[in-house]
Amino acid sequence: MEDVVEVRPFRLDLPPPEVESLAGLLDVRERARLETLRSAEHRRRFTVAHARTRQVLGERLDLPPVRVPFHFGPHGKPGLDGDAETRRLRFSLTHSGELAVVALSLGREVGVDVEHLDPSRDPVRFAARWFPPDESAWVAGLAAPDRLCGCLRLWTRKEACVKATGGRLVQGLALPVGTAPHPRAVEGPPGLPGPWTVMDLPAGPAHVGAVALEGARPFRLLERPTG
């Protein structure tokens, strides 16, 4: 039987009164992080992303958002504290531009990543710097209008795997995530646990996304609105 990853997309460009209300849901750790952000735009996006995540998790756990209990791994990956049933719920948050997505799964670690299709990026140069030679050559060989999307497709697949395992991005740059559009089982290098099953995430015309789930068993995506 297929597992399900529930994905909850939401916008970050909310009006100031709503952002101010959501800020009241953040805990001490989140508020301290918020104070380090210099840009008003970044503070708004951080506030909405983290407060909405608390609302999504609180809804699933039947808890007020301010009482959702977190713990953090060695590299900052968040998880849930509480009883065994609470800890079975795994989640991952990502945001880029004005889009955020929370992914939820039961019993299997999950990672999600989205990237905004920023036309100012140079995908060939980016891929040559960060990807193995075969992948950077694949990006360079795409038709010019497809290069940015192709580059970010590989990047989000790698990032989703890293977020699922709670590692550091530098560990995942060489992950062989493949260039084909179908779901793929990815084995990690020494020091980065695997395998993961990776699937591209439909994220609209302005973004590219991917979801990675621990293990090689297939899964399906279930999108639900947030808010």
Higher pLDDT, 192 or 83: 83
Asked whether the whole model's pTM tops 0.75, one would answer yes
Q: DSSP string covering 45-102, please?
A: HHHHHHHHHHHHHHHHHTS-GGG--EEE-TT--EEE-SSHHHHHEEEEEEEETTEEEE
pLDDT of residue 2: 67
For residue 180, the SS3 value is: coil
11 confidence band (pLDDT: 50, 70, 90): very high
Chain-centroid distance, C-alpha 154 = 14
**Domain range holding 99?**
3-223
The average pLDDT across 41-59 equals: 96
Q: Give residue-wise pLDDT tens across range 110-155.
A: 999 999 999 999 999 999 999 999 999 999 999 999 999 999 999 9
Domain containing residue 92: CATH number: 3.90.470.20
Residue 192: exposure state from Cβ atoms within 10 A (0-12, 13-18, ≥19): middle
The average pLDDT across 181-189 equals: 82
Say if residues 94 and 112 touch (Cβ distance below 8 Å).
yes
State the Cα angle at 71 between 70 and 72, rounded to 5°.
125
223 confidence band (pLDDT: 50, 70, 90): very high
pLDDT of residue 227: 64
Residue 169, both tokens: 């991005």
Distance separating alpha carbons of residues 185 and 5, to the nearest angstrom: 16
Number of domains in the chain: 1
pLDDT of residue 16: 96
- Give 38's contacts (C-beta < 8 A, 6+ positions apart): none
Chain-centroid distance, C-alpha 26 = 20
The average pLDDT across 71-97 equals: 88
Distance separating alpha carbons of residues 166 and 204, to the nearest angstrom: 27
**Is beta strand 110-116 parallel, antiparallel or unpaired with respect to 207-214?**
antiparallel
- Please say if the pLDDT value at position 158 is more than 70: yes
The average pLDDT across 51-73 equals: 93
173 confidence band (pLDDT: 50, 70, 90): confident
Q: Which residues pair with 94 in a beta bridge?
A: 101
